[in-house]
A = this chain, B = another copy of it.
Amino acid sequence: MGNPVLVEVTRGRLTESRHRGAVAVVDADGKAVLALGDVAAPVFPRSAIKALQALPLLESGAGDHFGFGAEELALACGSHSGEDAHVAGVERMLARAGLAERALLCGIHWPLNQDAARDLARRGGSATALHNNCSGKHAGFLCAACALGVDTAAYITPEHPVQRAVKAVLDDLAGAVIPDERRAIDGCSVPTWAMPLTGLARAFARFGTGQGLTPVRAAAARRLLAACADKPWFVAGTNRFCTTLMSLFGPRVFAKTGAEGVCCGALPELGLGIAIKCDDGGNRAAEVVFAALVGRLLARTDAEQAALGPLARPVIRNWHGIEVGGLRPAAALLG
């Protein structure tokens, strides 16, 4: 019993580890195209829904008011690696709204990109809230608050108009009101609401197609999707899964990982949304599952197929560069 094994991790001739999980692929009407495991259990989407959390930024008019282009909008949808151009982009977003780093309440951590972290240390620098992978999302919340004419001091609380707008977006896109007892606190201190994978997948199908959304919301979704397709490096960073996958497929694939083994996204041309949760919180497996689903669902050129391989079946190399094993989709996922 329990969810099926979705990904196997091999070493030599043996399977060393196994990741279980659940997958929902759903259209904008909520019709399931694929359901593996328990797709009704509530799951914290974490950072996988940053693009949905960014809708109020555009719906509030802040995007136009502050003249945000694709880089700023991709940062608002992203979990960046803290590389120099990410940090500069977030600073630029804040500056347009007359704000500074101290307005960010996401907390401080060193850049996720280890080269960037060591470069920062080498220059005698220290981690700031700008380096937090969520700083682009938080800058977006602050800019939305400015455009709405509400205070910017308490923008991370569930009662704040920006977080209430985010909650309304989630209820609308998923097609169901999320009960308040499913609210917890995310790594960057904003609310996170647990939602069934079917609801998350439906939300991304509607985000990807605009179906059933108000014209304003559909236009905002289109603009965020275009920004992430245009500037995928600003959604994550160098050698990161979302960046690599979206660089490969452009506007045909939207993908966003979240902490604890979540990955959500959309295949707009098929009208589908995807939501994945690995039971154990393993992000390496969620990425393999997403890549395998793209391989199963989307028409591809030979070149795209070749480039997708290392994402769906990544090789594990040791500290000497020797190939010692790899990850691969398990039988349940191959259909």
Contacts and interface: CB of A to CB of B under 8 A. Distances in A.
Nearest to A282: B280
A331 to B, nearest CB: 14
A141 to B, nearest CB: 15
A16 interface: yes
Interface string A9-39: 1011110111110000000000000000000
A322 B281 contact: no
Interface stretch (A79-87, A108-116, A249-257, A295-303): A108-116
A164 interface: no
A86 B105 CA distance: 37
Given A189-B318, A318-B189, A280 B19 contact: yes
Contacts of A183: 12
Interface in A274-316: 278-282, 285
A42 interface: yes
Contacts of A192: 11
A14 B280 contact: no
B44 A11 contact: yes
Contacts of A106: 319
B17 A260 contact: yes
Contacts of A319: 106-109, 132, 187-189
Interface residues of A, number: 56
B107 A320 contact: yes
A124 interface: yes
Contacts of A19: 280
A185 B325 CA distance: 9
A318 B18 contact: no
A88 interface: no
A20 B278 CA distance: 12
Contacts of A102: none
A118 to B, nearest CB: 4
Nearest to A13: B181
Contacts of A110: 114, 118
A121 B121 CA distance: 6
A205 to B, nearest CB: 24
A1 interface: yes
A9 B184 CA distance: 13
Given A118-B118, A282-B280, A319-B109, A184 B325 contact: yes
Contacts of A108: 319
A322 B157 CA distance: 13
10 interchain residue pairs of minimum CB distance: A107-B319, A12-B184, A17-B281, A280-B280, A118-B121, A121-B121, A107-B320, A11-B184, A185-B324, A187-B318
